[in-house]
Amino acid sequence: IPTYPIDQDPYAVPHDRLISTEGCFSCKVNGRHRRMIAESKFFNSTDSVYDAKMLRELWRRRMTRHRRHHHGDKPRMEQPHRVLKVSLAQTKHRTRILKLQPAIKNDFEYSITKGNENGQFEMVHKHGVWALHFRRRLKHAGTFPLEITGSRVNSAASNDIWEAPLALRVTIVASS
Q: Integer distance in angstroms from the first to the last C-alpha of the chain?
A: 81
Cβ neighbours of residue 84 under 8 Å, at least 6 residues apart?
A: 97, 98, 170, 171, 172, 173
Provide the H-helix boundaries in the chain: 25-30, 37-43, 52-66
| Mean pLDDT, rounded, of the chain | 73
Query: Is the distance from CB of 107 to CB of 151 less than 8 angstroms?
Result: no
Query: Is the distance from CB of 50 to CB of 42 less than 8 angstroms?
Result: yes
Model confidence at 27: pLDDT above 90 = no
Q: List, by residue range, all CATH 2.60.40.60 domains of the chain.
A: 74-175
**What's this model's pTM, rounded to 2 decimal places?**
0.52
Give the pLDDT of residue 146.
Answer: 93
Q: pLDDT digit string (tens) for 46-90? A: 444 557 777 778 777 776 655 555 555 555 455 667 899 999 988
Q: What is the mean pLDDT of residues 152-163?
A: 62
Residue 18, amino acid: L
For the chain, state the CA radius of gyration. Answer: 29
Chosen CATH of 74-175 out of 2.60.40.10, 2.160.10.10, 2.60.40.60, 3.40.250.10: 2.60.40.60
